[in-house]
Amino acid sequence: MKGSYILLIELKKDILVPIGKLGKKHFSKGYYVYVGSAMNGLEQRIQRHLRRQKKMHWHIDYLLKHAEIQNVFYKESIIREECNIAKTLESALSSIPGFGCSDCRCKTHLFYSPLKDVMNIVDKLGMIPYTTVDANA
């Protein structure tokens, strides 16, 4: 399966996290939305994000060491839509500049917002819930 996905992430306390080459970033307690894509194995990419034990590779891996994925939403597509999804989120949510977008021209692929605002956007994007996540996965 090919397509794009959104991770709905909860951070339970304010924290300073070293994010690879981005350096240390401050994250406030609350809900975050991360946008990604996998044009060769969407299910495998989502499952990788859900695992606790993994090699640190992407910016999101560093944040997920300190946060919990609450839900995952996806959209199947043969074309890469993650940047369009990020632009939609950027118009409605606060952004974390430079996060998760080193391979494109987007300002970010990570957003911060109250939970109800996130869910309204996800509904408008027509993304499908992937799973309810066990935090110990």
pLDDT of residue 103: 86
Q: List per-residue pLDDT tens for the chain, 137 residues long.
A: 999 999 999 999 999 999 988 899 999 999 999 999 999 999 999 999 999 899 988 999 999 999 999 999 999 999 999 999 999 999 999 999 999 998 899 999 999 999 888 888 888 898 999 964 444 44
Interacting residues of 47 by C-beta distance below 8 A, sequence separation 6+:
none
Interacting residues of 126 by C-beta distance below 8 A, sequence separation 6+:
75
**Four-residue CA torsion sign, 93, 94, 96, 101:** positive
pLDDT of residue 119: 86
pLDDT of residue 135: 43
pLDDT of residue 136: 43
Residue 95 phi/psi, 5° resolution? -120, 160
Helix (H, G, I), strand (E, B) or coil at 29: coil
Nearest residue to 40 via CA among 76, 4, 83, 1: 1
Nearest residue to 116 via CA among 86, 82, 87, 93: 93
Q: Where are the domains of the chain?
A: 3-132
pLDDT of residue 67: 97
pTM of the model: 0.90
Q: How far apart are the first and last CA of the chain?
A: 22
pLDDT of residue 131: 63
User: CB–CB of 131/72 below 8 Å?
Assistant: yes
Question: Partners of 64 in the beta sheet?
Answer: none
